[in-house]
Amino acid sequence: MSEDNFHVHGPHDHAVEHEAQSGDPFAGRIAVATAIFATIGAMFGYMGGATQNDALLFKNDAAIKRTEASDQWNFYQAKSGKQNLAELGATLTAGDQQAKYLKEAERYAKEKADIMVEAKALEAKSAEAEKMSEASMHVHHRWAQAMTLIQIAIALAAITILTRNRNLNIVAYGVAAGAIAIGALALLHV
């Protein structure tokens, strides 16, 4: 129930409740199975949401690291420009001035090497976060598939109560078993 005491039932909910209260053992078993399916579905829904959030967080981290790497590469380019100017100054001058410019060029070259290491490390972190995001999205899709199947099993169970078709009951259990199998794959990150 919601906080406002307003709750909307699905079209089959009243029929399932009525049949479950009728004292019919067949309907009672299907109603219990439907409740179990709904509980399993709630767990699938939670896990699907959690893995989707993980995937989004990893994707965000990848974007941040990619931006930080881009900043480092821009810094690298700025140091390259300064190194080129220092080398030009060394070429155009002689004596103490030339030594000063050569020293600056060497300093910029060393700074560029340090910046390059940092930029490459950030790119590697970005690529790793991207892989983790993709892996989480794959697992999210498994949970979503399992959730869809369990919802179909719930609908088939409701139709089973209404039609009294025992073959449909077997199909509902089969679909639920398929949902549980896919949920197990998601749990195993397969």
Mean of pLDDT values over 114-139? 97
- The verdict on residue 2 lying in a domain is no
CA angle (14, 153, 11) in 5-degree steps: 25
Q: 79, 112 in Cβ contact below 8 A?
A: yes
pLDDT at site 187 = 94
Which pair of structure tokens corresponds to residue 143?
């949970």
Write out pLDDT tens, residues 146-159.
999 999 999 999 99
Q: 133, 51 in Cβ contact below 8 A?
A: no
Q: Is pLDDT of 67 > 60?
A: yes
Structural domain boundaries, residue 69: 17-187
**Whole-number Cα distances in Å, 10 to 23, 56, 82:** 22, 32, 70
pLDDT at site 25 = 85
Report the number of distinct structural domains present in the chain.
1
Collect all residues with Cβ–Cβ distance below 8 Å to 132 and sequence separation of at least 6.
Answer: 54, 58
Q: 105, 86 in Cβ contact below 8 A?
A: yes
- The verdict on residue 64 lying in a domain is yes
- The verdict on residue 182 lying in a domain is yes
- The verdict on residue 174 lying in a domain is yes
Write out pLDDT tens, residues 7-39.
556 656 666 666 556 667 888 899 999 999 999
pLDDT at site 26 = 87
Q: 59, 98 in Cβ contact below 8 A?
A: no
* Nearest alpha carbon to residue 162 among 26, 15, 28: 15
Residue 91's φ and ψ, nearest 5 degrees, are: -70, -35
**Distance from C-alpha of 27 to C-alpha of 163, rounded to nearest angstrom:** 11
Confidence band of 1 (pLDDT split at 50, 70, 90): very low
- The verdict on residue 12 lying in a domain is no
- The verdict on residue 9 lying in a domain is no
Residue type, 49: G
- The verdict on residue 71 lying in a domain is yes
> E strands, the chain, where?
none
CA 22, chain centre distance (Å): 44
- The verdict on residue 25 lying in a domain is yes
Global pTM reads 0.72
DSSP-based three-state secondary structure for 85: helix
